[in-house]
Amino acid sequence: MQAARKIERPEPAVDRDWWRGAVIYQIYPRSYQDSNGDGIGDLRGIIRRLPHIASLGADAIWISPFFKSPMKDFGYDVSDYCDVDPMFGTLADFDALVAEAHRLGLKVMIDQVISHTSDEHPWFKESRASRNNPKADWFVWADAKPDGTPPNNWLSIFGGSAWQWDTRRQQYYLHNFLAEQPDLNFHNPAVQNAVLDATRFWLERGVDGFRLDTINFYFHSAGLEDNPALPKEQRNDSIAPSVNPYNYQDHLYDKSQPDNLGFLERFRALLDEYPAAAAVGEVGDAQRGLDIVAAYTAGDHRVQMCYAFDFLGPEKISAPKVRNVLETFGREASDGWSCWAFSNHDVVRHASRWGEGEADRTAYLKVLSALLMSLRGSVCIYQGEELGLGEAELAFEDLQDPYGIRFWPEFKGRDGCRTPMVWESKAQNAGFSTAKPWLPVPAEHKVLAADRQAGDQNSLLEHYRRFLAFRRGHPALAKGDIVFLPSEGDTVAFTRREGNEEIVCAFNLGSQPAVVELGGSAGLQPLSGHGFSGKAEAGTIRLGAYGAWFGRRA
């Protein structure tokens, strides 16, 4: 009998553009789920909770650092780029996480912290040993001025000079963050090769992309020129708190250098060796953020997307600001792509930053989330955002963040947005851990636990699930062009167009009813499934307090 001929079936088409319009759920692993009872979240804990993220409707997860680290900055000080810190598990645990995420239809992105290492990284230990060893110039070293002071006036975001004296080399080394986080010297091609090799290591393990920490800090000016003073009226506290003198300088020379573009092109070339790998960069620059995002995402030979701090700073979101930020980006980066976020692990949660004082906090957070997920760009959701978690108020003795400890009490650091997730309202530590958590679980968070909101169609959690499903059903909301429409006061209105689909979106960020006049644009067909109850008639959209409306042009 003739053997049956094997039928060759084509592999499913790879969507290299999956990141465009993706909803990315950020996991801060220390605080997501503890699986082994030590009070600290871990990779096995993330695996346990992946169904929550899949049920939310996210497209990808971004996991903050889990690499080997002395944890001076809670993983953003890496001592081994190619291994998991035992606190979080093992490489086998990570492989299992990737496999389970992919089974659930979730892409996996991880933090790459390559602007600096830990001072315990072998590269730095070798570099500081002498001035003539093979890695002597892998970090940024400079002689003191004749009077012994640092080479220039550059400041650390975490306070004080950006230069630390090293007694072995009798030179200063650069650190834009903690003194225990020395900056790599990207002017050295060997450094670029080393960090690209570390990136390849994770691509080979199946990751789908990267969040690039402090992407505009890779290069410094080789001339080490002093930064000029920034006029008081131009100071912006979106990158550092107002009490930090970092805001007193115009950071022309210590970051955001044009040399970075060449490295980003090398990084993109590496990504393009894999079927659909993508990257999103964090741009920390208060004066030129959108310009940098535009440059870094231009064309198809740099990173796919970046985000600036336009919606992560203290200034409250407003209808005019939304329009200004989006239209400015559209002008500056017509072929670029941004990734928008309202909260992350470094800033006060927007439920507190913007929501306190609003007449109906839950309704306000619902309309904000709908707005975020309707903007042109990709979206980052920070864990707990879908539950409406606010900033935790912690006692000084509970603080872990060195940033907050240094600037207390005027700036309380980042611990308030990093407290553990709340899964079960009546369980010990809200289901996060059976041991004392590394940060306290606030009592006011327990009443917002996932188990209390699940199934309640009026809850914020179910709103996120409902709206993400609505968004998935209308590709124009994920990938389409955006054109703003005339609106006044607290209202924002725009169209999103993709192919033959054009959707009109209108939002009221205020606590009083409002209208949006479309100027005789009749024939709008209302869309359902999003959970809002605005109405449109004869070109007039009527919105309730914190309301929204979505329709398709006939």
SS3 for 446? Answer: helix
C-alpha–C-alpha distance, residues 401 and 461, integer Å: 29
Exposure b/e, 151-173, CB count within 10 A at least 16 = b: bbbbbbbbbebbbbebeebebbb
List the catalytic residue out of 273, 335, 397, 410.
Answer: 273
Torsion of CA 367, 371, 372, 378, to 10 degrees: 150
C-alpha–C-alpha distance, residues 285 and 307, integer Å: 11
Q: What residues does 307 pair with on adjacent strands?
A: 282
Exposure b/e, 211-242, CB count within 10 A at least 16 = b: bbbbbbbbbbbeebeebeebeeeebbbbbbbe
List the catalytic residue out of 77, 93, 208, 213.
Answer: 213
In eight-state DSSP terms, residue 409 is: T
Smallest Cα–Cα separation from 463: which of 317, 363, 350? 363
Q: What residues does 172 pair with on adjacent strands?
A: 142, 165
Helix ranges (H only) for 128-273 are 189-204, 260-271
How do the residues of the chain divide into helix, strand and coil, expressed in percent and rounded to 5? Answer: 30, 20, 55
Smallest Cα–Cα separation from 192: which of 262, 142, 257, 132? 262
**Residue 78: φ, ψ to 5°:** -90, 130
Residue with tokens 């971004």: 62
Smallest Cα–Cα separation from 334: which of 297, 309, 303? 297
Gyration radius of the chain over CA positions: 24
Residue with tokens 């950006």: 162
Q: Is 77 a catalytic residue?
A: no
In eight-state DSSP terms, residue 342 is: S
3-state DSSP of 373-403:
CCCCCEEEEECCHHHCCCCCCCCHHHCCCHH
C-alpha–C-alpha distance, residues 371 and 355, integer Å: 15
Q: Is 213 a catalytic residue?
A: yes
Residue with tokens 């592999």: 11
Instruction: For residue 113, give Cα distances in angstroms to 71, 169, 184, 255, 280.
Output: 13, 25, 11, 15, 12
404: its two tokens: 């907050």
Give the residue numbers annotated as catalytic, written as ranges.
213, 273
